[in-house]
Amino acid sequence: MLREAPVIPWPSRDGSRVPFEVFTRADVFAREQEAIFRGPVWNYVALEAEIPQPNDFKTTFVGDTPIIVSRAEDGSLHAFLNRCAHRGATVQRQASGNARQHKCVYHQWCYNSQGDLVGVPYRRAVAGMGGYSADFAPKDHGLTKLRVASRKGVIFATFHPDTVALEEYLDEPLLAAIDRLFSRPIKVLGHMRQRVRGNWKLYSENTRDPYHAALLHGFHATFGLYRTNQRRVGGSDRARAHSTGATYGDDWRQAAQSGNIGQDKFVANYSLADPSLLEGRPDFNDGVTVSITSIFPCLVIQQIMNTLATRHIRPKAADEFELYWTYFGYEDDDEQMIACRLKQANLIGPAGLISMEDSEAIELIQRAIVRDGHENSFLEFGGLHADLGKDRVGEATIRAFWRYYAGLMGLSPAGGEA
Amino acid sequence: MSGATRQVYDDIRALEYRYARLLDDDQLEEWPNLFVERGVYKVIPRENLSRQPALPIMFCDSRAMMQDRVRSLREANVYNLHYSRHVVSNVEILSARDDTYEVAACYTVYQTDLEGQTRLFSVGQYRDVIANGDGDLKFREKIAVCDTFNIPNLLAIPL
């Protein structure tokens, strides 16, 4: 069923060595579409709050495959290919909207909000010309459907018949991380997009990499928003595919104004000329100011102070992906809270004061690994035997990502088992 | 020209050109001074206009906040090394009242990397409110609405 696995020497069973060619080769990218994105995984596709009403829809992607996510008349959620079963044209051209039917413009084949074929022009021959035979069954020509599951309004889809139940796939404490952020109804505030000339897995690594945070992102340390002496907790699923981490903060405004910035970067008496950027009030009573949850293969859910967002990694080619941010607050936000979230949006996204560096770091890698594909990146920070549960500053979480990836891709060291 | 004089139109155009030149000449510290003290600067992805208030990706509502953004760019942030070129055109005064002008203009921003390669970075529209105070035109509000709402890599230097 799967195409022949690309020949990639996979140097380490522990995920501490990753050959550069997994970031550059088109055949690896093609294989990933089958083994990863259409494999036994749950892909994030949308938030229910984006399609609240019957017949609301949103077009998105699973891997690089275009799909439609839709809410049917009866309120149920559906996902199906955005590719006409007739000749393969894009059916729904809008990014989102409300439609009882999705009609292909080419020959006007028409599908309902569950992806079933409900209309075919000239199905019966007209004046003896055209038409389909008597045994043409519309139910055999619907849009290919994906299985859909939602956890607290976060919608996932899978192509694979054997994918385990969503709750089992996510596992504790990932479920707890989702339940915490989506404990009450959310309100989508808008989107941010950036197009990064790099491989999608470089972003997966980035969001499982606490080592870089205080070193690459100067704003954190400069304004006292992130310090290595802050208490951090984290967790993972049994399969170690996902990761979630939370940082407990002091009152961040106090930290920013006191000039107390820890050991990572020393800038004396630094503070904002206009501290209103950091004004807000805690969304939760647990003292967590930053939480980053990475769900294999393509979702990051973040809370950084009052900024709440999902980040959807949308691979486009071996050397390109789109990062699609859905920024939200809560339905019961008052005007002041919405204003504060809009202002704190400065912190994240493509122009984010604490996030703009990530895509640059990724492009710097992609630009430099054009040759020497058999050479490896080196992932031993924190020590190879670090306990994943405790190692919250090392590279254990990245190594776990690569072990899970290698398993799905059928990669193993020479002489080893697949 | 909505009642504005030729002279006002010329002055507004000069302000727009000066805005572009300061950014392109890397005089970022001068950029906030083109705004009034409580001036507003926003970059809004076009796709977000359907929701109000529209989610911006950059948002300052005081000159001090713009200064913070500049200081962050100078001292804290890491971004792609490049030269930028802002081209402002189609400057049009939409309304004039009490020395306050609503202005629309088109912008195009190119980026040139350190190997001398240029690419189109962003195209969109400025929606400005320009006020005449102390004989000096300044932005009370400048909103850059990005047609290019899929930002190539990242946005560091203001549009």
Show residues of chain B in contact with A327, CB under 8 Å: 55
CA distance A43 to chain B (A): 22
Separation between Cα atoms, residue A277 and residue B62, nearest integer Å: 11
Q: Show the tokens assigned to A381.
A: 């920070």
pLDDT for A130? 86
A196 touches chain B (CB under 8 A): yes
Q: Chains A, B: CB contacts under 8 A, how many?
A: 120
Measure CB to CB from residue A360 to each of B55, B56, B80 and give the nearest one. Answer: B80
B130 touches chain A (CB under 8 A): no
- Record: contact B154-A360, CB cut-off 8 A: yes
- Record: contact B65-A356, CB cut-off 8 A: no
* Interface predicted TM-score (ipTM): 0.96
Q: Does residue A70 carry a pLDDT above 70?
A: yes
Interface of A with B in 354-373 (CB under 8 A): 356-357, 359-361, 363
pLDDT for A417? 47
**Which are the contacts of A186, defined by CB distance < 8 A and separation ≥ 6?**
A47, A49, A153, A308, A328, A329, A330, A331
Interface test with A, best of B121, B145, B154, B157 (most A CBs within 10 A): B154
All CATH 2.102.10.10 domain ranges of chain A, comma separated, are 43-151
- Range with lowest mean pLDDT among A5-19, A31-45, B31-45: A5-19
Model pLDDT for residues B86-106, shown as the tens digit of each residue: 999 999 999 999 899 999 999
Query: C-alpha distances in angstroms, B4 versus A159, B7, B13?
Result: 61, 8, 13
Q: Does residue A226 carry a pLDDT above 60?
A: no
Rounded to an integer, the average pLDDT of B53-79 is: 96
B47 touches chain A (CB under 8 A): yes
B54 touches chain A (CB under 8 A): yes
Q: Where are the domains of chain B?
A: 6-146
- Record: contact B152-A195, CB cut-off 8 A: yes
Q: State the pTM of this model.
A: 0.94
- Domain A43-151: which topology? Rieske Iron-sulfur Protein (2.102.10)
- Record: contact B76-A363, CB cut-off 8 A: no
Measure CB to CB from residue B77 to each of A188, A218, A272 and give the nearest one. Answer: A218
- Record: contact A190-B78, CB cut-off 8 A: no
pLDDT for A268? 40
pLDDT for B113? 97
CA distance B114 to chain A (A): 13
The residues pairing with A155 across neighbouring beta strands, listed in sequence order, are A46, A150
Model pLDDT for residues A32-63, shown as the tens digit of each residue: 999 999 999 999 999 999 999 999 999 999 99
Regarding predicted confidence, which is higher, A217 or A95?
A95
pLDDT for A250? 61
Q: Write down the CATH number for the domain with range B6-146.
A: 3.10.450.50
Would you say A310 and A295 are in contact if contact means Cβ atoms under 8 Å apart? no
Residue A11: phi, psi to the nearest 5?
Answer: -75, -25
Rounded to an integer, the average pLDDT of A79-92 is: 98
All CATH 3.90.380.10 domain ranges of chain A, comma separated, are 186-404
pLDDT for A389? 61
pLDDT for A248? 85
Q: Model confidence at A360, in pLDDT bands (50, 70, 90)?
A: very high
pLDDT for A267? 37
Mean model confidence pLDDT for chain B: 96
User: Which CATH architecture group holds A186-404?
Assistant: Alpha-Beta Complex (3.90)
Give the strands of the sheet with A320-330, arranged side by side: A232-235, A243-248, A288-295, A299-304, A307-317, A320-330, A186-196, B150-152
